[in-house]
Structure 1
């Protein structure tokens, strides 16, 4: 048999459990939003031009650290765990605003004797050969931005990733990453 005391406990426990679960979900979402650090300063877009790229391969990035919410016609630059990530508008190779500020630590590292590796990725929409060429143009655009900041080309390695197609959202795949190395 059930008593009225059991019913009143059930009416209290269920909303309490739901409330705690919602608190945890909101906390996790807040943490993800807090860790996403876009650079929001103005910089002049740099046009790309062709040059030979290195043939060595780098490992593919498997998953984004934060969810990227860009429309197809938007671009953005983000610094995440020391990696500068340029996200490009669909079909475009223009570097996002804030490039100079985002690359400041890379330039400092190069002046201190390090090299920078630049890798271009692309999404899976459209012609694969055109996408590969576009990811190369995007990498050249980022290279040109570094050269405009005073970095010599001998300090830059353009490397085709082992898997140039990004995973997840198309906006995440349309990126170029810059990483310092010794």
Structure 2
């Protein structure tokens, strides 16, 4: 039985169209994942006026290697910078929140209190030092973003060990306060 060339052309066009649709779907999924992980989809809110928590990167987000991704959460007048285990460096995703804190400090003639927390895993003394280094890293980043250093207070919280899971406990809180 011989097939006509129009049937072959039709089948080839269908196969190519289907292939292009699959490629478009994969590309869209990859771009969507990157947007969510990097917080590109949502601009950071001004900390002083944010009505609800805004997660720049979702809790428990993992990178391609399976490592936890640092994130920033804005909750009213408190900005929480979450860190990956054993690290005290801020990611580029923190820049918009830092800029908003500096703007709120300058616009409202406010000061900020920076407090570091840690999880319960490992050596307590090492964890306390890491919490201090994280708080200092946030303070230094605020100063680099233009915050007046004399209006930034580093304060050790009464309970430095955070509640909840370990990822939730590895954070620095920046709280806007009246001058």
**Structure 1 and Structure 2 fold alike (TM over 0.5):** yes
Partner of 2:86: 91
Partner of 1:133: 129
Greater helix content? 2
Q: Which runs of 4+ in 1 moved over 6 A?
A: none
TM-score by length of 1: 0.62
Task: Identify the match of residue 101 of structure 1 among 77, 96, 100.
Answer: 96
Partner of 2:56: 39
- C-alpha offsets along residues 10-64 of structure 1, whole Å, 9 cap, x if unaligned? xxxxxxxxxxxxxxxxxxxxxxxxx652226xxxxxxxxxxxxxxxxxxxxxxxx
- 5+ residue gaps, structure 2: 1-51
Question: 1 or 2 for the larger relative contact order (CA 8 Å, sep ≥6)?
Answer: 1
- 5+ residue gaps, structure 1: 1-34, 41-66
Question: d(CA) in 2 for partners of 1:100 and 1:71?
Answer: 20
Give the 5 Å matches for 1:24-173: 37-39=54-56, 68-70=59-61, 73-111=68-106, 112-173=108-169
Question: d(CA) in 2 for partners of 1:145 and 1:98?
Answer: 12
The alignment of Structure 1 onto Structure 2 pairs a total of residues equal to 122
CA RMSD of aligned residues (A): 2.0
CA drift of 1:106 comes to 1.5
TM-score by length of 2: 0.63
